[in-house]
Structure 1
Amino acid sequence: MSQSTLTKTRASIDALLALSRQTQIVLAKAIGMPNYAVSRRQASTPWQFDEADRVAAHFGIDPLELYAGADVACAAFARRHGLPLLAETFAAASGPTEVDAAPAEPVAAAPAPPAAPDNDLPSYVTTLATPALCVLCGLPATTALEGFPQHVSAETCAQAREAAQGAAATAAAAQTPEPASVTSTSAPHLPAGEAASPRQHQAERQKPRPRQPRAETHAKCVAFLRRNVQNALQSAGGDVEEAAAYLEKKAIPHAMELIDISRAQGRYDVIAYPPLPDHIYKKPSKSKPNQVWEARPNWRRSWESLPLAPGTHLVDELDMNGAYLSALKTHLPLGEPEHTTGHIDTQALKRSGAHLVTPGEWRHDHLPNPIGSRDEPGPLWIMEPTLRLLNRLSTPKYGSLCAPPEIHESWTSGSTEHLLEYFRTALTEVRAQAIQEGDDLTENYVKSVYSKFVSTAGTSSANHSLVRPDWVHAIRSQAFSNLYGKALKAHAAGLHVVRVSGTDELHVIGDWRSVFDEGRGVTEVKRKSSSEIIISPEA
């Protein structure tokens, strides 16, 4: 079966990068795209024609040669740059191909990628039939982690790098047409006749990868956001409205680039996304939602049920600041979800995902139902934050307000609460400083970045760089769970909760300043308005 044009184009780009000894970062800068964009085009989202044209121009070949596949593209690259034997070297590695028949002098061949151990590989590591470029070092790798081409350890990356540098030095120093030998590396070096044991392979894989210092990562994220605002103002000649319009338009690509910066050398790559169960996350039609119930609250307490003395009482409408920004700290699933039936302790197993549950009966009029306003009884699909909220409310610490939910089945994978932590903390810091300085432009820009990220990271046509509807549902569910937690705190402190709605609306009667800190920070609340109610004496 013939390959698609997109598959051929991706193969051409991978081969050209290896042949020219360039990384995806170099290519991205050359064609005017963010660093993360080339990796996403090669892994998931399709190349646009104008982008592919720029790639072809960068390598000095015709776009049609780029679309034709790796053999044709590499042969064209070699001819354009007067390196016919470079094409022959590639042909020797990939099989016979139609290139210029004229004989030419051989040059040093590119080093073979370090061999990965075939035995005792963990479940998240797969062996690639065809070597692909490692997302960390940009050199060929024979393994993939979480579905993404990558060496299994920092040592393997270092060996590939050393081998590539050695081959380049040999080719540059060659003064005679004598063919250079093909060098290969293997890890680790052992005495003659001694084979590496599975335990040694495992020790190599478990060595920590070099990480960027936390303070450095945070500083780069903050500097990126501030630089965007400064550049927008500079380009607009100081016109704040024009700068605001530009930043609003760039909020989504800036959010994705900020994630790329915040995940520098991180263990999990958020570019790749696994297949998800369609019966949960896929919308049956444009007018109908998918099966996930996010537990959005929309509750109001009747005045008659309030235990208040007759007279006039003040109702304060409180607003939770940066609700979605705070909700970015939640347990996000990472890999491909696995199906289980019956009870699962996701907290102990460090897993997250979607769960089909039957919630316990709710019999309290003074507090909203934690699953929100739902008219249909029976099982429903909820996300991890909602499940954890229901489990908390069933414990004696929270007064055993309901029975624990009955879990029928789950789709979960390993999770982490810190995947978006640098992303969140950078936005929080820049927002706080903007509020302190009265910088409305920066404050609104920060809000656009995180709110548009949450609204488009699922299946939105406005953001093709990340397709994780499970993340969007988890973040939104976390925002509603956070609001419910504020309502519980108010009730426990003796306030009367009279309304809980959306992600940030809480109405209470009583001295709320003794319970919450007032302000505009993400850990504070502000009063939006107040109204009076009159409780009439009983007849």
Structure 2
Amino acid sequence: MSDFDAIDSLLAAVGPEAELPSPQVRQQLRERARLSKAQVARTLGVSPSTIAGWETGRDPTGEVRTKYAYLLDGLAAKFAADTAPVTPSAAEPAVTPDPAAAGTAGTSAPSPAVPEEAGDSDEVETLAVPEPCVLCGHPAGQRVAGFVQHLDPADCQPATTKAPAAAPTPTAAQPTQATKPPSHIRTPGTPRPSERPHGPARRAFQEPSGPVDLIGQAVQAALTEHHGDVEAATAMLLKRAIPDAMRLLDETRKGARYNVIAHPWIPDILKKQTSRGADQIWEARPKWTRADLPPGRHKVTALDINGAYLSALKTHLPLGQLEHSAGLPHDRRRAGVHLITPPVWEHEDVLPNPIGQRDEPGPLWVTEPTLRLLLRLSGPKYGLCAPPEIHESYTSGATENLLEKFRIALKDARDTAIAEDDEVTLEYVKAMYSKFVSTMGESNYNRELYRPDWMHIIRSQAFSNLWLKALKAHDEGLAVVRAMGTDELHVIGDWRSVFPEGRAVTEVKVKDTYTAGTDTTEHTGTDGEEEGEE
């Protein structure tokens, strides 16, 4: 248990905690109020994924629990008050016309279906401010079964189609027309229609802003708060990078096909062995320098790989809890960590070992990207090594596109910031994705997502991406001199014919140039330093 966990437990034990309804009721109250998780999260100072956790079984503690309970109590009281005046209308004999007068001009037989529906306080809500009807798009003052709509079908028409003349008198051939419930009102106990409303009404269910707007709005708000002071605004945004990244993730996950377990059971191999130590996962981090260069003096270019961690967000991530298996071949539909005996690497003179520089022989735990890279290199296309031997695995069903919308939102914001020379947004976006990756393991800075397996996989994917760039350079005739970390590749030769130059994530930029070879060891750059995300 961390120091912060211990403090939270101590605070929770002091005094009685506020009572909370069941998780299902919490969600019902929020949805009935037409509040998004993001709106509630902003009010309480937490992330939307925290609200999702509270609505699926987790409980808040301390001061935020008191605030959350106060909000839920207020919503429950509001709904009780809103439905109170609706109930008496269930039986109003004064508005029931005399059958003999049903055919008089200028009147029509009112439908008792509306009072019957209004009598069910769980179905009809009176709105303080009219909202667009889901059927016609015009303002309506009631919400029925969770949908804003007109109670009188005659009102649910475009203004140009409503006839000013009196309604027709019911005939004997239509004795039940006056008492038939309007088709758009659901009778209690019947299932809701499966079809969603079409036309203008769909706009009532859409969020007012998209993921990219979240980034732009946060930057603008920070600059406004600090009266245009770029340094102060940037410092504020960097401090908010983690919760803002989680909020962006929550927004980009709306409507996703896959449910993700944010705090699954984790095997011991993914837990730190000591408070300051590491777990047992080997990330295959390259730290390689070529031993012998071709004869002569050479100009070496140190290339900086842009957005290494941002690009690595596209990787195969396990969705649920990791499950153990032994003696099974690799299943490409699953992802996780694997205990393997790596193959012998015989190309150390020109290319780094795909598992990095490891002194200890024997089996080791590697991540999904490392295993897939080894399998790829052992295949018929490359034939650079033998296949790794898989002993056991911890895996779950996986997808490569789990963070794709999140990645694209960050990439688009980054590209726009570069094009507009907006350093505030650029630094903010870089902090969002780099801190998102680094804090999803055992960290006190991100309580919303505990996936050390994801952290290792994303970082290993960045290392794998760098290794593949080294292979591309080698195959195109460049001499690879050095590969370091996630973003540093040193080469000899016409690298511009191999890699596009620029600041986009698909491009590279020059970090340093120096000469090397048999006649000199001169080096004018910062050799060996690993630069952070571009």
Post-superposition shift, 1:163?
5.2
SS at match of 1:285: coil
> Which of 283, 304, 322 is residue 337 of structure 1 equivalent to?
322
Q: Report what 2:441 is aligned to.
A: 458
Does structure 1 residue 507 correspond to structure 2 residue 517? no
- In our comparison, the structure showing a higher alpha carbon Rg is 2
> Which of 371, 396, 412 is residue 355 of structure 2 equivalent to?
371
Q: Would you say the 8 A contact 1:44–1:272 is kept in 2? A: no
Letter in 2 for 1:267: R
Question: In terms of mean alpha carbon deviation, does 23-32 or 434-443 score higher?
Answer: 23-32
Matches within 5 A, 1:506-525: 506-525=489-508
Matches within 5 A, 1:26-425: 27-28=40-41, 31=44, 33-43=46-56, 46-60=59-73, 108=120, 183-185=188-190, 220-270=210-260, 272-277=262-267, 279-302=268-291, 305-306=292-293, 308-310=294-296, 312-347=297-332, 350-364=333-347, 365-398=349-382, 400-425=383-408
> Which of 443, 465, 472 is residue 455 of structure 2 equivalent to?
472
Q: Would you say the 8 A contact 2:300–2:513 is kept in 1? A: yes
Name the CA shift for 1:44/1:60 in 2 (closer, same or farther; >3 Å): closer
Post-superposition shift, 1:53?
2.0
Name the CA shift for 1:30/1:313 in 2 (closer, same or farther; >3 Å): closer
SS at match of 1:411: strand
Q: Report what 1:433 is aligned to.
A: 416
Post-superposition shift, 1:394?
0.7
SS at match of 2:381: helix
Letter in 2 for 1:390: L
Name the CA shift for 1:367/1:219 in 2 (closer, same or farther; >3 Å): farther
Post-superposition shift, 1:341?
1.5
Q: Would you say the 8 A contact 1:519–1:525 is kept in 2? A: yes
Does structure 1 residue 496 correspond to structure 2 residue 482? no
Post-superposition shift, 1:396?
2.7
Post-superposition shift, 1:457?
1.4
SS at match of 2:457: helix
Post-superposition shift, 1:502?
0.6
Q: Would you say the 8 A contact 1:333–1:416 is kept in 2? A: yes
Name the CA shift for 1:334/1:315 in 2 (closer, same or farther; >3 Å): same
SS at match of 1:483: helix
| Percent of aligned pairs with the same amino acid | 49
Post-superposition shift, 1:82?
11
Q: 2:34, 2:367 → 1: CA distance?
A: 38
Name the CA shift for 1:163/1:228 in 2 (closer, same or farther; >3 Å): closer
Q: Would you say the 8 A contact 1:316–1:507 is kept in 2? A: yes
TM-score, with length taken from structure 1: 0.68
Q: 2:253, 2:508 → 1: CA distance?
A: 30
Q: 1:424, 1:515 → 2: CA distance?
A: 25
Q: 1:297, 1:500 → 2: CA distance?
A: 6
Q: 2:217, 2:79 → 1: CA distance?
A: 42
SS at match of 1:533: strand
Letter in 2 for 1:184: G
SS at match of 1:353: strand
Q: 1:164, 1:220 → 2: CA distance?
A: 24
Q: How many residues align?
A: 414
SS at match of 1:415: strand
Q: 2:53, 2:369 → 1: CA distance?
A: 29
Structure with bigger helix share is 1
Q: 2:79, 2:259 → 1: CA distance?
A: 36
Q: Would you say the 8 A contact 1:339–1:409 is kept in 2? A: yes
Does structure 1 residue 15 correspond to structure 2 residue 4? no
Post-superposition shift, 1:38?
1.5
SS at match of 2:413: helix
Q: Would you say the 8 A contact 1:498–1:509 is kept in 2? A: yes
Q: Would you say the 8 A contact 1:293–1:381 is kept in 2? A: yes
Q: Would you say the 8 A contact 2:19–2:69 is kept in 1? A: no
Post-superposition shift, 1:60?
4.8
Q: 1:81, 1:332 → 2: CA distance?
A: 47
Deviation string for 1:468-524 (max 9, x for gaps)?
A: 111111100100000000000011011111111111111111111111111111111
Deviation string for 1:213-257 (max 9, x for gaps)?
A: 9xx999811121111111111111000011001100110011001
Q: 2:81, 2:406 → 1: CA distance?
A: 42
Listed as ranges, the gaps of 5+ residues in structure 1 are: 62-72, 85-106, 112-160, 170-181, 189-203
Post-superposition shift, 1:17?
5.5
Letter in 1 for 2:384: L
Q: 1:258, 1:470 → 2: CA distance?
A: 21
Letter in 2 for 1:36: S
Q: 2:79, 2:144 → 1: CA distance?
A: 28
Q: 2:251, 2:281 → 1: CA distance?
A: 31
Letter in 2 for 1:333: P
Listed as ranges, the gaps of 5+ residues in structure 2 are: 1-11, 85-118, 124-142, 152-186, 521-534
Post-superposition shift, 1:438?
1.6
Post-superposition shift, 1:37?
3.1
Q: 2:426, 2:78 → 1: CA distance?
A: 51
Name the CA shift for 1:50/1:357 in 2 (closer, same or farther; >3 Å): same
Q: 1:437, 1:83 → 2: CA distance?
A: 52
Q: 1:381, 1:326 → 2: CA distance?
A: 23
SS at match of 1:527: strand
Q: Report what 1:144 is aligned to.
A: none
Letter in 1 for 2:272: K
TM-score, with length taken from structure 2: 0.69
Q: Would you say the 8 A contact 2:438–2:455 is kept in 1? A: yes
Letter in 2 for 1:397: K
Post-superposition shift, 1:439?
1.4
